[in-house]
A and B are shown apart, each in its own frame.
Chain A
Amino acid sequence: MFGGYRVRAGIGRYSYTVDPGLYAIGRPTDESEVLVTANYKLSFDALRRELSGVDAWILVLDTRGINVWCAAGKGTFGTDELVARIASSELARVVSHKRLILPQLGAVGVAGHLVSKRSGFHVVWGPVRAADLPAFLVAGRKADAEMRRVRFPLKDRLVLAPVELLSGLKLTLLVMAALVVLGGVGPAGFSIASLADRWPLAVASALLALLSGALFTPAALPRLEWRMFSAKGAEIGVLVALVVMTSLSFGTGSPVSRGDLASAVVLIVTGSSFFAMNYTGTSTYTSVHGARNEISASIWWQVGGLVLALLLRIVGGWY
């Protein structure tokens, strides 16, 4: 179970590969189907698991340990690699038919008609999900409309959340360190006592910004009205910031200065916006022109918010 998270996080990713080539599952004959996949171990294992009880050949392409969709986007799960792998595995001598079943998402990198022209093998587009393969095969290699749709249910959104949490961690720790250090600045110049007194809010706000953008926003994704992820993230950030403000009772009797609290609020909202924007890549429905537009509409607000949060942190030493 944790292997899945580890490999998604990129830790030891390259040991999570399968050697490219032809594999047999069950007891395939020369008439059995040939299913093509990537040499990412999670893809390969999912395929094997879903096909238990089926006799088939699996042709594993060299995608450098990357999953089908991402590899297809890069072109490693592509026409050239497929044609070369058909030849090197001597597939034409193993099966008597000329049919390959490819995962639908591989179509980003593989041109079916060119594969036919160059290898003689005909590409049949399988379902998006390996779990639908048994039904696809039973139906005579036909996928229904639902099998062809990419969805993004809560479970998928959360399974992939640690990827974004981890890639945002470095920036979070950097900003956190800056805020903690600025906590030492005050009327007395730089004082360790002031830093020691003010660090908890800095640590909490940096972590909350990350959680808000990379975990809470993905979880609530379809419930947030905005189209831009940066706006969705800012919306959740405002909610989180409100909770922080109420729990720290803004004003007299507050355990933190007004400047520090304002800094935390600005940081949570803009940081959440930024990390949510980066989640576009993890999502399954954003376009490149949309993402570019979103960046130009949001990035300077986000940078400005960060600068403002740092300035307010200095102000927090006085007020």
Chain B
Amino acid sequence: MSMRYLEKLVTLELDVEKCTGCGRCTQVCPHAVFELVDGLATLRDRGACMECGACQRNCAFGAITVDSGVGCAAALLDAMFRRKQDATCGPTGGCC
């Protein structure tokens, strides 16, 4: 009963062909999704991904793709009903 979310919906993909084993993804991921095995990145725990996008942004080799965004229902609802361009946090009326 640890804190895990809807794992099957995660959009994270790793293209090992492009990986150079620099290890940046293992440093920036807040949920230890990646692990270097034999000098290359692997998805150790894909289901723990929160789609923050830090790994994709910091992979200089384009080996990681994830459709990132805020996992915040309030912001998403706000975007749906006010027809805003995209859902982000605050600064107006938001939490952060």
Contacts and interface: CB of A to CB of B under 8 A. Distances in A.
Given A111-B58, A148-B29, A288 B5 contact: no
Interface in B49-89: 49-55, 57-58, 60, 67-77, 80, 87-89
A128 B54 CA distance: 13
Contacts of B30: 104-105, 128, 148-150, 284
B31 A150 contact: yes
Interface in B1-39: 1-6, 9-11, 24, 26-32
Nearest to B71: A286
A235 interface: no
A interface secondary structure, majority = helix
Interface string A52-87: 000000000000111101101110000000000000
B57 A108 contact: yes
Interface string A145-182: 10011101000000000011001000000000000000
Contact of B76 (A67, A223, A288): A288
B60 A113 contact: yes
B77 A287 contact: no
What secondary structure prevails in chain B residues at the interface with A?
Answer: loop
B51 A288 contact: yes
B40 interface: no
A217 to B, nearest CB: 13
Given A105-B30, A145-B32, A289-B51, A167 B68 contact: no
A293 interface: yes
Contacts, number: 162
B1 A227 contact: no
Given A70-B90, A148-B27, A287-B51, A112 B58 contact: yes
Interface in A224-266: 224-225, 227-229
A73 B52 contact: yes
B70 A284 contact: no
A280 interface: yes
Interface in A264-306: 277-278, 280-295, 299
A109 interface: yes
A278 B96 contact: no
B60 A295 contact: no
A51 interface: no
Contact of B88 (A74, A229, A289): A74
B93 A167 contact: yes
B8 to A, nearest CB: 9
Contacts of A34: none
B29 A290 contact: no
Interface of A: 10, 13, 64-67, 69-70, 72-74, 104-105, 107-113, 125, 128, 143, 145, 148-150, 152, 163-164, 167, 221-225, 227-229, 277-278, 280-295, 299
Given A125-B28, A285-B50, 6 more contacts: A13-B91, A149-B31, A150-B30, A227-B4, A278-B72, A295-B77
